[in-house]
Structure 1
Amino acid sequence: MEEETSWVSYCLDDIMRDVGDFNKFSESNGEGDKEIMEVSMDIILPDDLLERILAYLPVASIFRAGSVCKRWYEIVCSRRFLWNFSRVVSQKPWYFMFTSSDEPIGYAYDPVLRKWYSIDLPHIEKSSWFITSSCGLVCFMDNDRRSELYVCNPITHCCKRLEEPPGLKFSDYSALAISVNRTSHNYKVSVVKSKQVRGDFLQWDLSIHVYDSETMMWMSPLTEVLTGWRGGDESVICDGVLYFLIYSTGGGNRHGLITYNLSSRSSHKHLLTKNSISVPCPLTCGRLMNLKKKLVMVGGIGRQDRPDIIKGIGIWVLNGTEWQEIARMPHKFFQGFGEFDDVFASSGTDDLIYIQSYGAPALLIFDMHQKQWKWSQKCPVAKRFPLHLFTGFCFEPRLEIAP
């Protein structure tokens, strides 16, 4: 086992206490002086095999394992353990729920152990900041000047501040997305900015800006003027393609989807509007997410006569340019939120989708693989006053990834 410890060791130091050697104990079998000695299996197992076993534990259990004994502590802090952990299949995504409308405080929900944990998020100052995640990294951007941009691992608190995105200093709308390569751990961050053309309500300047961690540089591959449409705050990168929602500034269908291949770097005019895709039905809002390299949208289904009034929630997967409906939220779950606005929070990764009303701490989970709906364990914080708002985001808990 390597003697060198990694940056994750400080997490374990907080929960470690003085740990002695294994206690040998015996048990009488009732036959005089004859004793049966019980031997702990981890004493027999070599370090490399024990490392592989521990790497399959949920993240929260790994921290607990580090407090068992000195040997386990050294194992889970070693770089070789992180290498083994990186080869384990994806951890089930956690959901961080902001429980204050002003301060960035809250709890993270672990769907495997069905427990809430109190964790601190580094650098973020308000729960209203733009937030996106991919493969263990979370990206934050402030909602005022939109000049503070951080990429961090919320489990290890390893963090990096990025340079301010180029383009418009003050945009009316911004959409943030991040995509991490699981093999190289390189990542791309995209910011889609939208600002109304002065004196013309129908025309909006829209620009795309992309940061590459490999070159540590921003690029602005495309700018365009949209007529009758504007950008918003919803985007995601999926299998090298940037998807973002646009919103009608006039009548008719309120939402559209734009696709842009990040590897093309084309700057042709009117490229965005040519690559637009209609949404499957009138929506009150839409939430985009990357589930196993498939674009998934969770949307509030609007009434035909009043598309701004929500009547249910649907889940769709984009196949080519066609939407395939996967599920609709059963009415009993829809009613279970108590109050549900036309807009809501939803995010997901792997096979799990989280849905949350801004007006309550209730959290609903949909399993894409099992096609099952279920509530999370009750959040530790209850609603304290009528304007108490809740929001959140999901992220994959990883130990080995750093920005």
Structure 2
Amino acid sequence: MEGVAVLRQLVGQIQELWELYGSFSLDHPHLNPRWYILDLDNNSVEDDFCGLIMGEKSEYLNMVQANKSPPCKRSRREKNRERSLVSSSTQMEQQIWKEFPEDLFEAVIARLPIATFFRFRSVCRKWNYLLTSNSFSQHFAEVPRVHPWFYTITHEDVNSGAMYDPSMGKWHHPSIPFLPAKMIILPVASAGGLVCFLDIGHRNFYICNPLTDSFKELPPRSVRVWSRVAVGMILNGNTASSGYKIVWLGCNGDHEIYDSVQNSWTRPGIVPPSIKLPLSLNFRSQTVSIGTTLYFMRAEPDGILSYDVATGVWKQFIIPSPLHLTDHTLAEHKGQVMLVGLLSKNAATCVCVWELQKMTLLWKEVDRMPNIWCLEFYGKHVRMTCLGNRGLLMLSLRSKRMNRLITYDMSNKQWEKVPDCMLPRGRKRQWIGCGTAFDPCPTAMA
């Protein structure tokens, strides 16, 4: 009986509402739906403008909206008419895209994520040729890019590279068919979206854009050097279209400069007598470029050797390294020379970052890896490989039973773990042997 009392109360409230708003349907007859009311006293249903419906097994009531007539079967004439409308709209869309402004189309494509250009080139020939147009290059140069990519060579597969996109957190495995298949080619420098490769015998240089397979083998050098060399690369302007220069430097002071505009090597001179030979270069450190100046790291004595490619001026800076430092390398952030390395003492190991103070020519520590991450290295013989450019670093930390990949953003001092690098259809994690950071640019031509 309690349920019946509740129903009667609801019916009374609905009738009060109908008395207040019932005139609405008279003013708007097209909004007048058909409702039903349940008479609880006579157990009958009356056809009216407002009502209630009660489920067979439920004690609760729900408001019922207007009845909808069952869908009727459409005639063949109506179906054909609908198909003709769809085909006409499709033709209209094709006509609109055909008349879409070309410059606006290029501006939209230039703002797509870099990874989409792998699929973009395979759509049609027009889209593939679009990457080489001057107007598209201008649109692409106007879009700011946040982070560089990393081109790496793994220990397990030295004949092919792996690229990491930090913005998407994804690995790519490109195939560069023009690189010599029977020779180990290592990435040694980069600038403007181009990566410089050097064969393991230090004989031949190659330039390639890993995104588009634009490839060129550089002419032979005038000086035959069979020992290891340090390599740096800079742009003549803001983009690779203005040309680029490559500098190699040997421990005995020999060096040459390649100019892409002239497509030739030149010997600008000799190292000043104030710089003691041999140079004892630290080949584990990458060469850093700031403007037109290249910075090489020396081991004995500890310090930096700089070379201004535009003026041909050499400078030497004796800078003592921090104590207990191993596997250190130079880096760059907002025009400042940085130092990254492993700080090992007793059984503890930690990754630290220093900044070079211009006034005192000393290294000042600015950050270090969180302690909870460093606990994993405790008591282990850890080795590190560091790749970095434009304030973003990739660290490969490995020991006998450990392999970790970490990125470090110098702008916000943020450490992030990188997904394991695995070959397509493979399960084994790859160890990063060497590599370089590069600015992804599909318009850069070797």
TM-score of the pair, normalised by structure 2: 0.65
Question: What's the counterpart of residue 21 of structure 1?
Answer: none
Question: What's the counterpart of residue 282 of structure 2?
Answer: 232
Question: What's the counterpart of residue 242 of structure 1?
Answer: 294
Contact 2:382 2:398 in 1 (8 A): no
Work out whether 1:162 is the aligned partner of 2:218: yes
Please show how residues 113-124 of structure 1 align to structure 2 within 5 Å: 113-121=168-176, 122-123=178-179
Question: What's the counterpart of residue 61 of structure 1?
Answer: 116
> What is the alpha-carbon distance in structure 2 between the residues aligned to residue 282 and residue 166 of structure 1?
41
Question: What's the counterpart of residue 345 of structure 1?
Answer: 385
Contact 1:91 1:397 in 2 (8 A): no
Question: What's the counterpart of residue 20 of structure 2?
Answer: none
Contact 2:148 2:438 in 1 (8 A): yes
* Deviation for aligned residue 1:336: 5.3
Question: What's the counterpart of residue 258 of structure 2?
Answer: 211
Please show how residues 65-214 of structure 1 align to structure 2 within 5 Å: 65=120, 78-90=133-145, 92-101=147-156, 103-121=158-176, 122-123=178-179, 129=186, 131-144=188-201, 146-167=202-223, 169-171=225-227, 173-180=228-235, 181-183=237-239, 184-194=241-251, 205-214=252-261
* Deviation for aligned residue 1:365: 0.8
Contact 2:249 2:255 in 1 (8 A): yes
Question: What's the counterpart of residue 52 of structure 1?
Answer: 107
Work out whether 1:221 is the aligned partner of 2:269: yes
* Deviation for aligned residue 1:138: 0.7
Q: Structure 1 stretch 287-296 or stretch 392-401: which is displaced more?
A: 287-296
| Cα gap change, 1:344 to 1:383, in 2 (>3 Å) | farther
* Deviation for aligned residue 1:334: 3.8
| Cα gap change, 1:165 to 1:284, in 2 (>3 Å) | farther
| Cα gap change, 1:88 to 1:193, in 2 (>3 Å) | same
Please show how residues 236-275 of structure 1 align to structure 2 within 5 Å: 236-248=288-300, 255-266=302-313, 273=316, 275=317
1:23-72 CA deviation, whole Å, 9 max, x = no partner?
xxxxxxx9999999899798485332232122011221234345668886
| Cα gap change, 1:388 to 1:91, in 2 (>3 Å) | closer
Question: What's the counterpart of residue 367 of structure 1?
Answer: 409
Higher strand share: 1
Question: What's the counterpart of residue 393 of structure 1?
Answer: 436
| Cα gap change, 1:103 to 1:164, in 2 (>3 Å) | same
Query: Relative contact order, CA 8 A, sep 6+: which one is greater?
Result: 1
Which of 375, 382, 396 is the aligned partner of 1:356?
396
> What is the alpha-carbon distance in structure 2 between the residues aligned to residue 340 and residue 156 of structure 1?
41
Q: Structure 1 stretch 146-155 or stretch 92-101: which is displaced more?
A: 92-101
Contact 1:240 1:261 in 2 (8 A): yes
> What is the alpha-carbon distance in structure 1 between the residues aligned to residue 150 and residue 188 of structure 2?
12
CA RMSD of aligned residues (A): 3.8
> What is the alpha-carbon distance in structure 2 between the residues aligned to residue 292 and residue 159 of structure 1?
30
Question: What's the counterpart of residue 329 of structure 1?
Answer: 369
> What is the alpha-carbon distance in structure 2 between the residues aligned to residue 159 and residue 69 of structure 1?
22
| Cα gap change, 1:75 to 1:165, in 2 (>3 Å) | closer
Question: What's the counterpart of residue 32 of structure 2?
Answer: none
Which of 330, 336, 339 is the aligned partner of 1:297?
339
SS where residue 325 of structure 1 aligns? strand
SS where residue 253 of structure 2 aligns? strand
Contact 1:207 1:222 in 2 (8 A): yes
- The structure number with the bigger radius of gyration is 2
> What is the alpha-carbon distance in structure 2 between the residues aligned to residue 210 and residue 342 of structure 1?
36
Number of residue pairs matched by the alignment? 347
| Cα gap change, 1:62 to 1:227, in 2 (>3 Å) | closer
Question: What's the counterpart of residue 418 of structure 2?
Answer: 376
> What is the alpha-carbon distance in structure 1 between the residues aligned to residue 247 and residue 219 of structure 2?
13
> What is the alpha-carbon distance in structure 2 between the residues aligned to residue 336 and residue 109 of structure 1?
24
Q: Structure 1 stretch 48-57 or stretch 65-74: which is displaced more?
A: 65-74
Contiguous gaps of at least 5 residues in structure 2: 1-70
| Cα gap change, 1:158 to 1:52, in 2 (>3 Å) | same
Q: Structure 1 stretch 391-400 or stretch 99-108: which is displaced more?
A: 99-108
1:357-390 CA deviation, whole Å, 9 max, x = no partner?
35565321111222211112232247859x9764
> What is the alpha-carbon distance in structure 2 between the residues aligned to residue 133 and residue 96 of structure 1?
10
* Deviation for aligned residue 1:210: 2.3
* Deviation for aligned residue 1:105: 2.1
AA of the residue aligned to 1:395: F
